[in-house]
Amino acid sequence: MALVKRKGITISRQLMDEQRMFPEATGALTALMADLVVAGKIISAEVNMAGLADILGQSGRTNIQGEEVQKLDVFANKTFKRRMEQCGHICVMASEEEEDPVPALPGYEGNYTIAFDPLDGSSNVDVNVSVGTIFSIHRRLSPPGGPGTEADLLQPGSRQVVAGYIVYGSSTMIVYTSGSGVHGFTLDPSVGEFFLSHPNIQIPELARYYSVNEAYWPYWNDNIRDFVDYLRGSDKGHVPCSARYIGSLVSDFHRNLVKGGIYMYPRDTRSADKTAGKLRLLYEAAPLAMIVEQAGGSAVTDDGRRILDIVPERLHQRVPLIIGSKQDVAVALRFLKGER
């Protein structure tokens, strides 16, 4: 649906307009998203004053990923879980910070599932660098009523109903798609509302930036190395990209989405758990893949599989990820096949 840049469209207005496109819609998804937006506002307020509250630094815990959990990871996870478990429209949820599926509160089960990365870019929280939240919503497969199942969560990204992220940066933005284009909303903290600021985002076909942690160069295969060399302008006639790597996937992805770019986290040989890269399919790669395809870009693994086609086998399954401007992802695939 082409969005005209009418002044002052709030995210609630946009969600209602999208609901009206489906006569059979019950309003459940709109209500779910309204609660998700509240969670985003709460986390944004906390992130923006993290330096003042006792909310920085490590929590002293390690999560299922084997990572040191930051206090803001815990806060964001608790906030999202609390809003979602009682919103009445979720039957089960998956979180990066929860080893197992989390059911809705008894009596509050609904017909959707949500998978989320409550705080993406945790290593950046106490150095005042932008971080984010990523979310992915599916329809439940199990019969309505009662708690959802793990199978409700293990669906391919192509079946997502809504995919989005919140980036807590110089401003707080929500960017999401429900299959009718990608729209960005910026929080006006003085009124506590998200207003449409980026209607119908389309990712430029050509990358201006490339985002990859080049410290892992020694652990990549030759095809990835050759492609990064190409991005640096080694091929005659190829305009070199600028390197930009923030270390928060959401922030690197958002810049590349708006300005044109390619983000890569390939598999590497550093350690056993990096043989499929670091990023998680359910709540990092799949939602961003839906967004980038809706914006005219591509998202694949480093052996050429389309991210949205992958059927998850485990909740925290990792996948290698190459995502961004269509032309550069296509060139990446040629390099990865050993073609030049």
Q: Which of residues 74-103 bind ligand AHG (CB under 6 A)?
A: 96
Rounded to the nearest whole angstrom, what is the least distance from the CB of residue 170 to ligand AHG in the complex?
18
Rounded to the nearest whole angstrom, what is the least distance from the CB of residue 120 to ligand AHG in the complex?
4
| Interface residue with ligand AHG, options 14, 30, 95, 122 (CB under 6 A) | 122
Q: Which residues lie closer than 8 Å to 235 by C-beta, 6 or more apart?
A: none
269 binding ligand AHG? (CB under 6 A): no
Rounded to the nearest whole angstrom, what is the least distance from the CB of residue 196 to ligand AHG in the complex?
26
The annotation status of 96 as a binding-site residue, yes or no, is yes
The annotation status of 122 as a binding-site residue, yes or no, is yes
Q: Which two structure tokens, joined as six digits, stand for 253?
A: 């992805």
> Closest CB to Mn ion among 96 and 109?
96
320 binding ligand AHG? (CB under 6 A): no
> In angstroms, what CA-CA distances link 305 with 274, 310, 329, 336?
18, 8, 12, 11
Burial 18-32 (b: 16+ CB within 10 A, else e): bbeeeeeeeebbbbb
CA distance linking residue 94 with residue 96, whole number of Å = 7
CA distance linking residue 178 with residue 217, whole number of Å = 37
> Closest CB to ligand AHG among 213 and 221?
213
Amino acid residing at 134 = I
Amino acid residing at 286 = A
Rounded to the nearest whole angstrom, what is the least distance from the CB of residue 15 to Mn ion in the complex?
25
The annotation status of 188 as a binding-site residue, yes or no, is no
117 binding ligand AHG? (CB under 6 A): yes
Got the DSSP string for 189-214?
TTTTEEEEEETT----SS-SEEE--G
Q: Which of residues 17-56 bind ligand AHG (CB under 6 A)?
A: none
> Closest CB to Mn ion among 109 and 284?
284
Q: Tell me which residues touch Mn ion (CB under 5 A).
A: 67, 96, 117, 119-120, 122
> Closest CB to Mn ion among 96 and 293?
96
Give me the residue whose beta carbon is nearest to Mn ion.
120
CA distance linking residue 101 with residue 187, whole number of Å = 30
The annotation status of 81 as a binding-site residue, yes or no, is no
Q: Which of 71, 5, 74, 84 is nearest to 39 (CA)?
A: 84
Please give the angle made by the CA atoms of 300, 281 and 66, to the nearest 5 degrees: 130
Rounded to the nearest whole angstrom, what is the least distance from the CB of residue 142 to Mn ion in the complex?
27
Residue 54 φ then ψ, to 5°: -80, 65
The annotation status of 66 as a binding-site residue, yes or no, is no
Rounded to the nearest whole angstrom, what is the least distance from the CB of residue 275 to Mn ion in the complex?
18
Q: CB 279: neighbour CB atoms within 10 A?
A: 20
| Interface residue with ligand AHG, options 68, 247, 259, 334 (CB under 6 A) | 247
**Residues contributing to the annotated binding site for Mg(2+):** 96, 117, 119-120, 284
Report the binding-site residues: 96, 117, 119-123, 213, 245, 278, 284
Q: Which residues bind ligand AHG (CB under 6 A)?
A: 67, 96, 117, 120-122, 213, 247-249, 278
